[in-house]
A and B are shown apart, each in its own frame.
Chain A
Amino acid sequence: MAEQTTSRRSSASRKPKKNQIPYGFLTVAGIVGIALLLNMNSSNVAFFWLTGAAFGFILQKGRFCFTASMRDPYLTGSTSVTRAVIVAFAITTIGFTAIKYGYANAGLAVPGMSYVAPISFATLIGAFIFGVGMVIAGGCASGTLMRVGEGFVMNTIAFFFFMMGSLWGAHDFGWWKEHVISKGSSVFLPDIFGWMGAVVLQLGVLLILYVVAEQYEKKRSGSH
């Protein structure tokens, strides 16, 4: 697409491009090699490494950015990333619930319940602080890691201070737990609405958000 476009400007000013594809294949070979090494110690660690590489590859190829999904509607009026995030939430909800329901039906402990976190004022405050930080730093948690791989020095600095901020947060966590978090409780939607009800309700909300996002974008781009 980009290759076919002809520029009015002289191509003589262009530097000759280096071909980085061989290094790309070397990196892929390195990823496989490290997976084999990790596998000698623990197949679980090797699995995490490979899924991580898949996540990184997909995030970069899709320029998938959770920061943009939250920021662009306000800042630039675009909701295309927001809508893609909604699609991801919807598909993953269906897959996750299928797995969880399978376990529950078999009378086994439902997996992933530690991600059903208690809701308190700390959830809202923490998410708010996180939201401000990710827009300023130009990348969320996954986005920061992905951009470290892409060669952004700025995100590498942000990554280091993300770790330091996590340490700080872990240091203060006892206080928050005692004074704020312990006053809240976790809410697992199927406990209230049943499995089917919770999925239908959530997909309905996501559908409404999708339509609202699209209409909002149309309105914003028509307004000037």
Chain B
Amino acid sequence: MENKKTKFFDRMKSNEYYIKWLKNPFTYVTAAVLLSLFQIVTLAVSKNPWGVSGAFAVWGAWIFEAVGGSVDKWYYFASPGAQATLNGGLLNHPDSWRNFGIIAGALAATLLASGFKLKKIKSFKQVAAAVIGGLMMGYGARLAFGCNIGALYGGIASLSLSGWVFAVGMFLGAIVGSKLLVKFFM
């Protein structure tokens, strides 16, 4: 039984549709069209564009509260809406589940292509890069009302000038980041 199953999945590896849709990467433009489709679906159904990093601040607040801190006095979390989100818990926070979904979807895509590998840390430089880069992304996203998804993609597609201003700042930041990366983290 088990043997038959493995044979089925081994045969699948040479199936032309498997290779086309699950094994080989999509072109960048195919992905662009599909992402656009789901962005439009997201706005149509949930009445808001796709956002990612807003939930990270909520998770940060939950972690902070779990270790004994309180964010209730912070302007960012002071509004009734933000308080309701914080008190509502994970199960009632749709944005959290969309982020979990991204992780799960990417995992599924990698496994279906039989390309999963745990990529361990290679050097201390990578840890430093992840810590510094992660902190910068988090802080920057709060100042600019979102990340590359909410503020940039969602902003521009919403015909908001803020999306374009974000694009300019992010592009300049990427140039400086590239110089730093080559100099210190390579």
Known: A123-B143, A163-B60. 20 other contacts (CB 8 A): A20-B114, A24-B114, A25-B112, A45-B94, A51-B38, A52-B102, A58-B38, A61-B109, A74-B174, A91-B32, A113-B158, A125-B140, A127-B165, A127-B170, A131-B174, A145-B99, A151-B118, A162-B137, A170-B60, A187-B160
- Nearest opposing residue in chain A for B137, CB measure: A133
A-B contact pairs, 17 of them (CB 8 A): A45-B94, A56-B108, A66-B153, A111-B43, A115-B146, A116-B160, A127-B170, A128-B176, A131-B169, A133-B140, A149-B107, A155-B130, A167-B64, A168-B139, A168-B142, A187-B162, A189-B159
- Nearest opposing residue in chain A for B24, CB measure: A1
Known interface pairs A44-B94, A52-B97, A132-B177; A66-B148 also in contact (CB < 8 Å): yes
**Top 7 closest pairs, chain A to chain B, by CB:** A165-B138, A131-B173, A52-B101, A62-B31, A137-B133, A56-B105, A169-B142
- Nearest opposing residue in chain B for A25, CB measure: B112
Known interface pairs A92-B39, A124-B165; A112-B133 also in contact (CB < 8 Å): no
Judged by DSSP, the binding face of A is helix
Chain B residues lying within 8 Å of A141, measured Cβ to Cβ, are 52-53, 56, 137, 141, 147-149
Q: Does B84 touch A at the CB level, under 8 Å?
A: no
Chain A residues lying within 8 Å of B127, measured Cβ to Cβ, are 154, 157
Chain B: interface size category: 35 or more
Q: Does A36 touch B at the CB level, under 8 Å?
A: no
- Nearest opposing residue in chain B for A29, CB measure: B108
Chain A: interface size category: 35 or more
Q: Does A207 touch B at the CB level, under 8 Å?
A: no
Residues of A with Cβ closer than 8 Å to B? 1, 3, 17-25, 27-28, 30-31, 34, 38, 41-42, 44-45, 47-64, 66-67, 70-71, 74-75, 80-81, 83-85, 87-89, 91-93, 95-97, 99-100, 111-119, 122-138, 140-142, 144-155, 157-174, 176-177, 186-190, 198-199, 202
